[in-house]
Amino acid sequence: MAADRKENPAALPKARHALLRAIREFFSGRAFVEVETPHLSNCPPPDPHIEPLKVFLGDCGPYYLHTSPEQGMKKMLACGLERIFQICKVFRVEEFEEQHSVEFTMLEWYRPGTYVEAMEETQELIRFVGEGFGWKARQYVNGPWETLVLRDLFLETTGIDPFPLNGDALRLRMEERGFLGLAGDDTWEDLFFKLLVQEVDAAIGKRKKGPSFVKDWPASLTAMARRKDPHTVERFELYMKGLEIANGYTELLDAEEQRARLLVDVGKRRSLGKTVLPLDEDFLDALPRIRGPVAGVSMGVDRLLMVLLDKERIGDVLSDRLRVRT
């Protein structure tokens, strides 16, 4: 992309502008309301796998830059809005790598329905915005889409179904299969992600014909999604050219269950030696006032731009001033 900038430094800003304009046009045509929520919070979601960026304002704090606008947007749903979307910067403590940046652009939207309708709408959005990004991009997004069940992918690629197993049983199965890199203190989640990253993600990445929805994720990894069965929740991820582009689910609206699941995440953070984060009581109070079912989707705008422009590194679609390094 550096060479592209020397040849035409305006190309990237124009491409980003075209994408953002198309996103807004898509949602405006469907009677969505564009909203804004605060970037600063003292009660971020206690997800043990996502670390918020801490901020001090003089003697006040700590505050945290939001890792997603989810809690704030659900409070808006509780006020009576039904179809809302937001495009904003979000922040997460992670290394700047080929596909990751501390600061990135997120699209998030909520609509009546379940993750089934959300997958349909996600596909329609991608095809709509892809019209402005050349023949290759249009051919890819208008080509065949597939919907895969995560459990089936694990069985196909590893021969292991981790969903009904506890940590000890999963470790034993992985050892029997000759998986390397296992640590003595690995939790079930650690083992699951090692299988996912080393085997399943690679298998998804080899599917080059078109985008793939991967649905029905473990309940223990998604605190805010509605349960489908004892082991899974109604959640999907969208992969395009091997990249995770979007994450969506049917929202959990039961405040009591939501509190219990968030407290489990708080316990996981404590056991990992991470900062224990307070629960957002306003968010929990808002859930019973939301008319359901409701589905929400978050999408990485920078990663989507990577796919549409056929780029391999997130740095290729970020201007130099946005490249935040840890």
The structure tokens listed for 45 are: 């979601």
| 50, 272 Cβ separation under 8 angstroms | no
Alpha helix segments (H runs only) across the chain: 2-7, 11-28, 70-77, 115-130, 134-141, 150-158, 167-176, 188-195, 201-205, 255-271, 281-286, 301-309
DSSP-assigned letter for residue 198: I
Q: Rounded distance, CA 214 to CA 235, Å?
A: 8
At residue 165's C-alpha, the angle toward residues 162 and 169, to 5°, is: 105
Whether 75 has a pLDDT exceeding 50, the answer reads: yes
Q: State the pTM of this model.
A: 0.91
Cβ-proximal residues to 139 (8 Å cutoff; 6+ apart), any chain: none
Q: Is 64 helix (H, G, I), strand (E, B) or coil?
A: strand
Find tokens 């039961």 and name the residue: 254
Q: Which residues pair with 236 in a beta bridge?
A: 215, 248
Q: Rounded distance, CA 166 to CA 192, Å?
A: 11
- Which of 38-42, 177-181, 207-211, 226-230 shows the lowest mean pLDDT across its residues? 207-211
What does each C-alpha distance from 115 to 76, 119, 182, 226, 255 come to in angstroms?
A: 20, 6, 34, 10, 19
Diameter over CA atoms, the chain: 57
Task: State pLDDT tens for residues 251-305.
Answer: 999 999 999 999 999 999 999 899 999 999 999 999 999 999 999 999 999 999 9
Q: Is 279 helix (H, G, I), strand (E, B) or coil?
A: coil
Q: Rounded distance, CA 270 to CA 219, Å?
A: 20
- The pLDDT-based confidence of 234 (bands split at 50, 70, 90) is very high
Closest CA to 187 of 268, 93, 275: 268
Task: State pLDDT tens for residues 88-101.
Answer: 999 998 766 666 78
Task: Please report the pLDDT score of residue 25 as a whole number.
Answer: 98
DSSP-assigned letter for residue 92: -
- Which of 98-102, 107-111, 182-186 shows the lowest mean pLDDT across its residues? 98-102
52: preceding bond cis by omega (within 30 degrees) = no
Domains of the chain: 2-145+210-322 (3.30.930.10)
Q: Rounded distance, CA 305 to CA 293, Å?
A: 30
- What length is written for the chain? 326
Mean of pLDDT values over 213-231:
95
